[in-house]
Amino acid sequence: MSVRTTVVWDYAPAPESADHVRLKDRYGLFIDGDFSEPASGRFVPSINPATEEPIAEVAYGGPDDVVAAVQSARAAHPKWAALPGLERAKYLFRIARLIQERARELAVVETLDGGKPLRESRDVDIPLAAAHFFHYAGWADKLRYGVNAREVSPLGVVGQIVPWNFPLLMAAWKLAPALACGNVAILKPAETTPLTALLLAEICQEAELPPGVVTVLTGDGDTGAALVRAPGLNKVAFTGSTAVGRDIQAALAGTNIPLTLELGGKSANIVFEDAALDQAVEGIVNGIFFNQGHVCCAGSRLLIQESVHDEVIAKLWQRMRRLRVGDPLDKNTDVGAINSAEQLARIEALVAAGEEEGASRQTIECELPERGYWFAPTLFTDVSPAHRIAVEEIFGPVVSVLTFRTQAEAIEKANNSRYGLAAGIWTDKGAKAFEVASALQAGVVWQNTYNHFDPTAAFGGYKESGFGREGGPAGLRPYLQIVQ
Ligand code: NDP
């Protein structure tokens, strides 16, 4: 057994070619169905975090650009809202199919721009983005069945702000239900990962989506702040940090603009002693090292029943040592680059705090590329519930391990968080899984799996992880008003 598991395979490099990618050197703002120069006159390079090299220049949306975006969207809304649902569905189906047609290109660009392993952008981000458009295309002519057979109407112009961890997928989560419901949308991608949203704008052109139905307003946090405060919006949807979510909520207080917030998390992944431990270890690895841990629902707080703690940690460490960190375009890579220098600094600061507070750190030994932003997978044991690494979202490839003795203690510890986005339960007993799941304050609970996403399933948080749901029929509700 030990002989078999100590074999370390040497893989030949298997880089995906980027030759087929045709990016422009410079992208304008996508307003009124076309790319235009920003009124701000500014362009900002988007950087490949694995090499620190610029990929393309992207327009910076300033205050006048925000006004132009809202004007164009307002003008487009009446016609789009008046289209029969079946007609809107045709556009969404077209967009979904075009995403599939350009999947290889989108996957490579997502990896170049964000640093995530190609295996993930190719197998998760892009197919799921297409699946969201397909799913909501199916709903466009059946909206009332998603809301208990009530009569509904769209809200109008929707401002949507997405983060950098799943750029195209988050754009799809936001745009597909909004458009299906008859709204028009202004999308603000993250400063560090705007490129697939701009390719999606090209796809909207190819699909002959009427001008103004989708606007892509690139820029930075100030652009987002200006957008949510712009007169003429009827709805705001945001995914990102709790701090910015709070700022947006404060900005909208006293208005009647509905808001959806999908914020951070410190999700508990709970391993009971009766779990299939090898399977659980795979789930732990997927829960925290998928996408370098840049996942709002990452299983970053690992709760292990004391009786199997040593065994699980030994197996987990063995498995972690085999993770391949490096070139995100290599098909063998498990853990890619950290998205930005700022995010790397945040991870390093929290990991340093973990060591200072007395937790035991183990980081895998691996050769990291000389340029780019990298952080090797890290395991913290001897963590107490008050440690910062047990409380704060690290948003990196770092797992903090806590223990418990009884089911009640597991539930109490899992719920001992200001967040409540997701949780995982590993057990052989179905009844126990349901009992624990119903006691957890988490929007999503996975049983014997983790980070499993599906467009038909609702996703969203409790407590400081936000409110409102995305995905499935529940994801229609934030984009509709009940007429009668
Ligand atoms: P932010 O919340 O700052 O960014 C999310 C999005 O909001 C980006 O498009 C950003 O633009 C935009 N934005 C920033 N400031 C404002 C504002 N005042 N008003 C409106 N929009 C704004 O996240 P960060 O990128 O700073 O990441 C910080 C931490 O947040 C991470 O370490 C992680 O813990 C957490 N996070 C959680 C995510 C989740 O999915 N739950 C996703 C991303 C981060 P721009 O990027 O251009 O500045």
Q: What is the domain extent for residue 130?
A: 26-263+465-482
Residue 9: C-alpha distances to residues 6, 144, 281 (Å): 9, 55, 20
Query: From the CA of 104, how far away is ligand 1's center (Å)?
Result: 27
The reply to whether 297 belongs to the active site is no
Model confidence pLDDT, tens digit, residues 415-454: 999 999 999 999 999 999 999 999 999 999 999 999 999 9
In-domain check, residue 19: no
In-domain check, residue 54: yes
For residue 243, the ligand 1 atom closest to its alpha carbon is 2
Claim to verify: residue 245 and residue 279 sit in the same structural domain: no
In-domain check, residue 62: yes
Mean pLDDT of the chain: 96
Confidence of residue 392 (pLDDT cuts 50, 70, 90): very high
Query: From the CA of 335, how far away is ligand 1's center (Å)?
Result: 22
For residue 164, the ligand 1 atom closest to its alpha carbon is 43
Q: Among 110, 120, 191, 262, which one carries the catalytic annotation? A: 262
Claim to verify: residue 171 and residue 64 sit in the same structural domain: yes
In-domain check, residue 63: yes
Claim to verify: residue 211 and residue 286 sit in the same structural domain: no
Model confidence pLDDT, tens digit, residues 1-54: 445 555 666 789 999 999 999 899 999 999 999 999 999 999 999 999 999 999
Output the residue whose Cα is nearest ligand 1's atom 46. Answer: 190
Query: From the CA of 240, how far away is ligand 1's center (Å)?
Result: 4
CATH label of the domain that carries residue 435 = 3.40.309.10
In-domain check, residue 402: yes
In-domain check, residue 384: yes
Claim to verify: residue 445 and residue 322 sit in the same structural domain: yes
Claim to verify: residue 227 and residue 283 sit in the same structural domain: no
> Average pLDDT of 218-241?
98
- Based on the structure, what is the number of domains in the chain? 2
> Average pLDDT of 388-412?
98
The reply to whether 296 belongs to the active site is yes
Q: For ligand 1, pick from 170, 244, 444 the residue to mutate: most ligand atoms within 8 Å of CB.
A: 244
Output the residue whose Cα is nearest ligand 1's atom 19. Answer: 225
Query: 165-197 in b/e burial notation, b at 16+ Cβ within 10 A?
Result: bbbbbbbbbbbbbbbbbbbbbbbbbbbbbbbbb
Q: Among 296, 297, 464, 470, which one carries the catalytic annotation? A: 296
Claim to verify: residue 87 and residue 181 sit in the same structural domain: yes
Model confidence pLDDT, tens digit, residues 276-298: 999 999 999 999 999 999 999 99
What pLDDT was estimated at residue 148?
87
Claim to verify: residue 303 and residue 186 sit in the same structural domain: no
In-domain check, residue 245: yes
Claim to verify: residue 309 and residue 212 sit in the same structural domain: no
What pLDDT was estimated at residue 434?
98
Output the residue whose Cα is nearest ligand 1's atom 42. Answer: 240
Confidence of residue 109 (pLDDT cuts 50, 70, 90): very high
In-domain check, residue 10: no
> Average pLDDT of 102-129?
98
Alpha-carbon distance 304 to 311, whole Å? 10
Model confidence pLDDT, tens digit, residues 333-375: 999 999 999 999 999 999 999 999 999 999 999 999 999 999 9
**Ligand 1 binding residues, C-beta < 6 A:** 161-165, 188, 190-191, 220-221, 224-225, 228, 239-241, 244, 247-248, 263-264, 296, 343, 346, 393, 395
Output the residue whose Cα is nearest ligand 1's atom 12. Answer: 221
Claim to verify: residue 331 and residue 244 sit in the same structural domain: no
Claim to verify: residue 254 and residue 204 sit in the same structural domain: yes
Query: From the CA of 279, how far away is ligand 1's center (Å)?
Result: 33
Claim to verify: residue 151 and residue 290 sit in the same structural domain: no
Claim to verify: residue 448 and residue 362 sit in the same structural domain: yes
